[in-house]
Chain A
Amino acid sequence: MNGVEHLLSGLALPVVGAAGVAVFRYLPNLREGVSLLTAGALFFCVASLVPSVLEGARPGFELLEVMPGLQIAFRVEPLGMLFALVASGLWIVSSLYSIGYMRANGEANQTRFYVCFALALAATIGIAFSANAFTLFIFYEALTLVTYPLVTHHGTDGARNGGRTYLAVLIGTSVVFLLPALVFTWHTTGTTDFRAGGILAGKLDPVPMAALLALYMFGIGKAALMPFHRWLPAAMVAPAPVSALLHAVAVVKAGVFSVVKVVVYLFGTEALGNGVPTDWLIAISGFTILAASVVALNADNLKRRLAYSTISQLSYIVLAVAVLAPLSMIGAVLHIAAHALGKITLFFAAGAIYTASHKTEVSELDGIGRRMPWTMGAFAIGALSLIGIPPAAGFFSKWYMVQGAAASESWVALAVLATSTLLNAAYFLPVIYSAFFRTERVAPRHDHGEAPATSVAALVITAAATLALPFAGGIPLELARAVWGGS
């Protein structure tokens, strides 16, 4: 098997898995087995591409030509590799987690859930391996649509309203900003291929270039740049595994991944550094980081707090990209992985708490650490990683960002990073403190311990991975460096 076959099977596997899940819809055990198996096979498939990509191979192929000069084509490059690796790896864990969660909460329509989940992964892998912005756009929109049934899984009025916001913001921004940006790019350059050094370099004056950049940045609504962030908290009506995998990993990371891709491979960091005004992007992402942190600080609902924390963490990546320094770019790429691991742990923990105790508010969590030590321990590790305390993964990505900001003398960015670290600590530490060091104010309705074993196993794995990532042979770092080194 060569790289292209791995790539092809990587794209096809989740779709096949979705079909398999649908076939075995009356046999829950087999159905979930298929789901888990597909996840494992996908990860293996993606992981087997890593060595050759690190050696500089860029396997790819063209699927079909939709319009003259516009192809659906795929190509593996380091950034996509990292993203695919994170998404497929965490799919395994979250499949494990979903089995416990969905059964313990007696959720309806589980087959639809697993099918859409697999399809969402297919779209994510499609995004990760897109060879041009056109392909990326197609899968980007597909991801929005296949996650819609997951967001509205409960089918209640609340779910319907959340789903409306989710769609309105994501479809709205992508259609009104991203699509014209794409058409304009194609109109100007005659291609939408992702190329090292960018395709727009030298084709546009600085001001139109900045305007186009704005269209892209706001058009990629999944990156949740304010004021287009409302979909993320709205999507929290979804069951916890969905919030965990999709809204900590696949969907939001697809957003920031697209941001990085667009900046690096469409514009080219050098072209942007050449007098194109980008200060506004630093300002907006900085504002998003701080504002979202403040909202998170005031949110009592745990999932809502995590959602706003996600918004702020995503803007770290946009901010790091906007700084345009090599080191901050590496930080941005690393943060995609680091935040994914940390945040999925937190969402798993929130889901586990809900499953075991039906508690959703931060103020109810006093003393819960004694009943659920593993869950809350993992929660603490995830939170510390996101605050940026060594040796958790979040520390390293922040380290590169700070260095990059310092190297390019972007004091605004530095100030934002410093302030937001304090804010992160302010909204996470009280949760950990009250969980472990306060006594229960009200006794829970029923005596409970930990959530189902598979769920706890999943969150322990991700917490461990958060700690282990920096020592994992440096693969993420090497991939991040390869992005910067150009392909």
Chain B
Amino acid sequence: MSVALHMPVLQVVVPLLSAPLAVLARRGSLPFMFTTAAAWFAFATSIALWMEVEHGAVLSYFIGSWPAPWGIEYRVDRLSALFLLLVSGLAAVVLPYSRRSIQAEIPREQHYLFYALFSLCLAGLLGITVTADAFNIFVFLEIASLSTYVMIALGRDRRALVASYQYLVMGTIGATFFVIGVGLLYLMTGTLNLPDMAERLAAERHTRPVLAALAFITVGLSLKLALFPLHQWLPNAYTYAPSAVTAFLAGTATKVSLYVLVRFYYSVFGESLVFRHLPLPEIMLLLSLAAMFVASGIAIFQRDFKKLLAWSSIGQIGYITLGLSFDTVTGLTASLVNLFNQAVTKCGLFLLLGGAVIVAGGSTLERLAGLGRTMPLTSFGIVIGGLGLIGVPGTAGFISKWYLVLAALERGEWWLVFAVLLSSLLAVAYVWRFVEAAYFRPAPPGRPPRREAPASLLIPAWLMIAASVYFGLDTSVTVGSASGAAEMLIGVKK
């Protein structure tokens, strides 16, 4: 019972502790075990938390029993529970995968560091999601980011170093912008506790420092979540990072930044300020559309499939922010559902690709040619995941598209409906580049005629792909939580 009360904090503390343990254990498979156990523990905890808040309850936990607003409060509501579930779930699947995957990609003596970093990153991401303290968010954001930079730099290619450096500079600017915004809010309200801050802001909502804070936080987080045109760090970072890292990041890093943005917009600034008194929704709408078309368009012309998927991620972020810019319950639901489904699908794709890279020796489309024959399970999985990106009925992507179209229709904007659907056709074009390479071209010489990726890679990867199909058929978890969270945030008057 007492353990159950501490679940919100254990969620963060356990992965945080597993990092030094991994460093201390150093050799053998202990680091792997600590980290995996921590991730599974976090996953189990987040399921328990999700079930507790599913019916609208809000769990508050005061660190060191200092009551809010003086102490730091951890707060789990429907929105954060959904993200906890996503982040810890992906970690729980990616970690078993990483064991075999990093053997091929990272020198043996650095493995324990990888696990330590992974734990830190997980703790950071979970911390961002669970805390209700603005400065605490910044600290966790930096914990997650710093460990991410290092994990990207672990990539074999020397370009990983440059990618990591670029991400470090951009990420730090983003985080610093965020903390400037938080600072301004603190100056205006004298509190860092988010609910408290929201209450105190009510009186001075339209003062200039608050507007400046909104601007800083929006830009800072847009950098972190790679909203077009602040996305330059993303393609290289995703392409050159080790496969397991890419898979985990693609599903979590940008998504959690989006969580913070949604949290600040709805729970701190309030929708009337953000969406009614400023041209923010219009700007976001335009940027989202630009992301959907430009990034997806660029994706079509990539030669490297990993980079192609990275560009596709930027395009998909456009769909997520598009739903957000609508400021309706359906729009926000679409946004959250899309985020969740996209994370699961992309993670599965990057995992499968990781296996293919190990066997085929590269992720360019030339290297992946003929994959349909030499690695049938892997390439079939990539096709299924690709269909999910397109949004074919029966996959999770379809559900997101359905809600986005519905949200656009509710606003009566047919041109948006067609824009969304036309841009989703671009996904057909880039997914089919893989299909044609894998099934129509002969394998490059020197590839073993028929060798699948090891089962320890295939099983987690297919688990994610299966999940992406499952969430396309049973939407009670995704749509249920997302619409619940959206209703809670927008405060529907039913």
Give A residues with C-beta under 8 Å from B.
Answer: 64, 66-68, 72, 137-138, 141-142, 145, 152, 155, 159-160, 164, 167-168, 171-172, 175-176, 179-180, 183-184, 186-187
Quick one: CB contact mask for B422-455 with A, threshold 8 Å, 1 for yes? 1011001000100010011000000000000000
A67 in contact with B475 given A137-B393, A180-B421 (CB within 8 Å): yes
Task: Specify the chain A residue showing the minimal Cβ separation from B417.
Answer: A180
Query: By the criterion CB–CB under 8 Å, are A142 and B425 in contact?
Result: no
B26 to nearest A CB, angstroms?
48
B484 to nearest A CB, angstroms?
12
Query: By the criterion CB–CB under 8 Å, are B440 and A160 in contact?
Result: yes
Quick one: CB contact mask for B387-402 with A, threshold 8 Å, 1 for yes? 1001111100001011
Taken together as a complex, chains A and B put the C-alpha atoms of A335 and B7 apart, in Å, by 66
A184 in contact with B409 given A137-B393, A168-B428 (CB within 8 Å): yes
A62 to nearest B CB, angstroms?
13
B288 to nearest A CB, angstroms?
18
Give B residues with C-beta under 8 Å from A.
Answer: 387, 390-394, 399, 401-402, 405-406, 409-410, 414, 417-418, 421-422, 424-425, 428, 432, 436, 439-440, 472-475, 479
B410 to nearest A CB, angstroms?
7
A145 to nearest B CB, angstroms?
7
A141 in contact with B409 given A160-B436, A180-B417 (CB within 8 Å): no
Query: By the criterion CB–CB under 8 Å, are B399 and A67 in contact?
Result: yes
A145 in contact with B401 given A175-B425, A176-B425, A180-B421 (CB within 8 Å): no
Task: Specify the chain A residue showing the minimal Cβ separation from B429.
Answer: A168
Query: By the criterion CB–CB under 8 Å, are B428 and A167 in contact?
Result: yes
Residues of B within 8 A of A176 (CB): 418, 421-422, 425
Query: By the criterion CB–CB under 8 Å, are B394 and A175 in contact?
Result: no
Query: By the criterion CB–CB under 8 Å, are A175 and B421 in contact?
Result: yes
A258 to nearest B CB, angstroms?
14
Q: What would be 12 A-B contacts, judged by CB atoms less than 8 Å apart?
A: A64-B473, A64-B474, A155-B440, A159-B440, A171-B428, A176-B422, A179-B402, A179-B405, A180-B405, A183-B406, A183-B409, A187-B409
Please give 19 more A-B residue pairs, beta carbons under 8 A apart, in addition to A66-B473, A160-B436.
Answer: A66-B399, A66-B472, A67-B402, A67-B475, A68-B479, A137-B393, A141-B393, A141-B394, A142-B394, A145-B387, A145-B392, A155-B440, A168-B428, A175-B424, A179-B401, A179-B421, A180-B405, A180-B409, A186-B406
Residues of A within 8 A of B479 (CB): 67-68
A68 to nearest B CB, angstroms?
7
Taken together as a complex, chains A and B put the C-alpha atoms of A186 and B401 apart, in Å, by 14
Residues of A within 8 A of B436 (CB): 160
Taken together as a complex, chains A and B put the C-alpha atoms of A193 and B475 apart, in Å, by 20
- List the 6 closest A-B pairs by CB distance, nearest first: A138-B393, A183-B405, A176-B421, A180-B417, A141-B393, A160-B440
Taken together as a complex, chains A and B put the C-alpha atoms of A175 and B401 apart, in Å, by 10
A172 in contact with B425 given A141-B393, A180-B418 (CB within 8 Å): yes
Residues of A within 8 A of B475 (CB): 66-67
Query: By the criterion CB–CB under 8 Å, are B405 and A66 in contact?
Result: no
Residues of A within 8 A of B418 (CB): 176, 180
Taken together as a complex, chains A and B put the C-alpha atoms of A138 and B387 apart, in Å, by 13
Residues of A within 8 A of B390 (CB): 171
Residues of B within 8 A of A187 (CB): 406, 409-410
B492 to nearest A CB, angstroms?
15
Residues of A within 8 A of B473 (CB): 64, 66, 72
A120 to nearest B CB, angstroms?
15
Residues of A within 8 A of B401 (CB): 179
Taken together as a complex, chains A and B put the C-alpha atoms of A171 and B387 apart, in Å, by 11
| Binding site secondary structure of chain B | helix
Residues of B within 8 A of A186 (CB): 406
A406 to nearest B CB, angstroms?
38
Query: By the criterion CB–CB under 8 Å, are B474 and A66 in contact?
Result: yes
A155 in contact with B439 given A67-B475, A180-B405, A183-B406 (CB within 8 Å): yes
Residues of B within 8 A of A179 (CB): 401-402, 405, 421
Task: Specify the chain A residue showing the minimal Cβ separation from B479.
Answer: A67
Task: Specify the chain B residue showing the minimal Cβ separation from A187.
Answer: B409
Task: Specify the chain A residue showing the minimal Cβ separation from B424.
Answer: A175
Taken together as a complex, chains A and B put the C-alpha atoms of A176 and B424 apart, in Å, by 9
Taken together as a complex, chains A and B put the C-alpha atoms of A172 and B423 apart, in Å, by 11
Residues of A within 8 A of B399 (CB): 66-67
Residues of A within 8 A of B440 (CB): 152, 155, 159-160
Taken together as a complex, chains A and B put the C-alpha atoms of A28 and B107 apart, in Å, by 48
A155 to nearest B CB, angstroms?
6
Task: Specify the chain B residue showing the minimal Cβ separation from A139.
Answer: B393
Residues of A within 8 A of B409 (CB): 180, 183-184, 187
Taken together as a complex, chains A and B put the C-alpha atoms of A40 and B394 apart, in Å, by 28
Taken together as a complex, chains A and B put the C-alpha atoms of A138 and B398 apart, in Å, by 10
Taken together as a complex, chains A and B put the C-alpha atoms of A186 and B394 apart, in Å, by 18
B58 to nearest A CB, angstroms?
24
Taken together as a complex, chains A and B put the C-alpha atoms of A438 and B248 apart, in Å, by 71
Taken together as a complex, chains A and B put the C-alpha atoms of A141 and B418 apart, in Å, by 18
A474 to nearest B CB, angstroms?
37
A134 to nearest B CB, angstroms?
8
Taken together as a complex, chains A and B put the C-alpha atoms of A176 and B405 apart, in Å, by 11
Query: By the criterion CB–CB under 8 Å, are A164 and B417 in contact?
Result: no
B341 to nearest A CB, angstroms?
13
Residues of B within 8 A of A64 (CB): 473-474
A209 to nearest B CB, angstroms?
15
B450 to nearest A CB, angstroms?
14
Query: By the criterion CB–CB under 8 Å, are B402 and A183 in contact?
Result: yes
Task: Specify the chain A residue showing the minimal Cβ separation from B330.
Answer: A187
Residues of A within 8 A of B393 (CB): 137-138, 141-142
B166 to nearest A CB, angstroms?
35
Residues of A within 8 A of B406 (CB): 183, 186-187
B394 to nearest A CB, angstroms?
6
Taken together as a complex, chains A and B put the C-alpha atoms of A145 and B431 apart, in Å, by 13
Taken together as a complex, chains A and B put the C-alpha atoms of A23 and B2 apart, in Å, by 54
Taken together as a complex, chains A and B put the C-alpha atoms of A184 and B474 apart, in Å, by 22
Taken together as a complex, chains A and B put the C-alpha atoms of A186 and B330 apart, in Å, by 14
Residues of B within 8 A of A172 (CB): 425, 428
Taken together as a complex, chains A and B put the C-alpha atoms of A72 and B401 apart, in Å, by 18
Taken together as a complex, chains A and B put the C-alpha atoms of A112 and B440 apart, in Å, by 14
Query: By the criterion CB–CB under 8 Å, are B394 and A138 in contact?
Result: yes
Task: Specify the chain B residue showing the minimal Cβ separation from A134.
Answer: B393
Taken together as a complex, chains A and B put the C-alpha atoms of A152 and B440 apart, in Å, by 9
B403 to nearest A CB, angstroms?
8
Taken together as a complex, chains A and B put the C-alpha atoms of A64 and B234 apart, in Å, by 39
Task: Specify the chain B residue showing the minimal Cβ separation from A148.
Answer: B435
Residues of B within 8 A of A66 (CB): 399, 472-475
Taken together as a complex, chains A and B put the C-alpha atoms of A66 and B469 apart, in Å, by 12
B128 to nearest A CB, angstroms?
30
Taken together as a complex, chains A and B put the C-alpha atoms of A82 and B391 apart, in Å, by 31
Residues of A within 8 A of B422 (CB): 176
Taken together as a complex, chains A and B put the C-alpha atoms of A155 and B438 apart, in Å, by 11
Residues of A within 8 A of B394 (CB): 138, 141-142
Residues of B within 8 A of A67 (CB): 399, 402, 475, 479
A35 to nearest B CB, angstroms?
21
Taken together as a complex, chains A and B put the C-alpha atoms of A172 and B417 apart, in Å, by 14
A76 to nearest B CB, angstroms?
22
Taken together as a complex, chains A and B put the C-alpha atoms of A180 and B408 apart, in Å, by 10
Task: Specify the chain B residue showing the minimal Cβ separation from A68.
Answer: B479
A171 in contact with B402 given A68-B479, A137-B393 (CB within 8 Å): no
Residues of B within 8 A of A68 (CB): 479
Residues of A within 8 A of B410 (CB): 187
Residues of B within 8 A of A141 (CB): 392-394
Residues of A within 8 A of B474 (CB): 64, 66
B424 to nearest A CB, angstroms?
6
B413 to nearest A CB, angstroms?
11
B368 to nearest A CB, angstroms?
16
